[in-house]
Structure 1
Amino acid sequence: MKLNCKRIDFTYTPGEEIFNFPEESGLPFLFDVEGELTADSAAMDAVGEMLDEADRLAEKAKAAIKAALADEGSPYHDAVVFFMEFHRDDVGPDIAAELFPGTDPAKLSFAEMADFLRLKRFGSLVDSEMNQQVFILDLSFNPEITDELMVVYFDLNQEIFCITHES
């Protein structure tokens, strides 16, 4: 089957998981969809639509991370602060300089650091708790240096329903 997507020309096999590295898909990030969804044409249409919006969604994710940083009452505040503290204060000055080139990492605010996050994975799966299709965006400063991720979950309406720190 052909993915209905403007961003890439992509063919997949219904019922089989998609897991492609950038050099395979032509996308600048990992692309994966669980097999259950590839067998559902409506779900795959949603994948194509969301994939076309991936860059905008990544910007929306970064804005949500900044909002969580600014709001101590946010359920995501502590996770986002920990992620930023780790990358600015705990990795050491040489690594921090590699993560935030052209800056003095010690002088970066956490909100400024969020601008350095890049989309490293776009995925879709069926969330077991919600029993519906969701989209996952993994954001990283540089996956060649750190395996720590800010993971942002979107629903079918392109609304964020979870932000978490994973490694």
Structure 2
Amino acid sequence: MKLNCKRIDFTYAPGEEIFTFPEDTGLPFIFDVEEKLTSNSAAMDVVGDMLDVAEELANKAKDAIKAALADENSAYHDIVTYFMQFHRDEVDPDTAAALFPGMDPAKLFYAEMVDYLKLNRFGSCVDGETDQQAFILDLSFNPEITDELMVIYFDLNKEIFCITHES
């Protein structure tokens, strides 16, 4: 089957998981889709549509992270604050300098750090709690330096329903 997507020409086998690296697709991030979805052409059409706007979703995710940092009552405030604190204050100084080139990490505000996050993975799966198709974006400062991720889950309406920290 061919993915209905404007940004890449991609063929996949229905019923088989998609898991590709940038060098295989030309995308600047890992692309993966759960095998359950590859058998459903309507779900795969949505994957193609969402893939076309992946960077817009990443920017929306960054805005949500900044909002959570600013709102101590946000359900995600502690998660995103710890993520930023870890990368600025708890890694060794050489690592922090590599994550934020040209900046003095000690002087960075957490909200400023969000701008350094990059989309590392775009994926789609069936959410275990809602049994609905969801989209997952992994954001990282630099996956070659740290395996810590901000993981943002989007629903079919491009609304965020979960932000978590994974490593």
State the Cα deviation string for residues 37-63 of structure 1 (Å, max 9, x = none). Answer: 000000000000000000000000000
For the residue of structure 2 that corresponds to 1:75, the secondary structure is coil
TM-fit CA distance, 1:118: 0.1
RMSD: 0.4
Q: Distance in 2 between matches of 1:105 and 1:65?
A: 19
TM-fit CA distance, 1:92: 1.5
Identity of aligned residues (%): 76
Matches within 5 A, 1:1-167: 1-167=1-167
For normalisation by structure 2, the TM-score amounts to 0.99
State the Cα deviation string for residues 77-116 of structure 1 (Å, max 9, x = none). Answer: 0000000000000001110000000111110000000000
In structure 2, runs of 5+ residues without a counterpart are: none
TM-fit CA distance, 1:25: 1.1
Q: Distance in 1 between matches of 2:46 and 2:40?
A: 10
For the residue of structure 1 that corresponds to 2:137, the secondary structure is strand
For normalisation by structure 1, the TM-score amounts to 0.99
Count of matched residue positions in the alignment of Structure 1 and Structure 2: 167
Q: Distance in 2 between matches of 1:137 and 1:49?
A: 15
Q: Distance in 2 between matches of 1:124 and 1:23?
A: 20
For the residue of structure 2 that corresponds to 1:16, the secondary structure is coil
Partner letter of residue 67 of structure 1? A
For the residue of structure 1 that corresponds to 2:67, the secondary structure is helix
Q: Distance in 1 between matches of 2:112 and 2:79?
A: 17
Partner letter of residue 112 of structure 1? E
- Extract structure 1 runs of 4+ deviating beyond 6 A: none
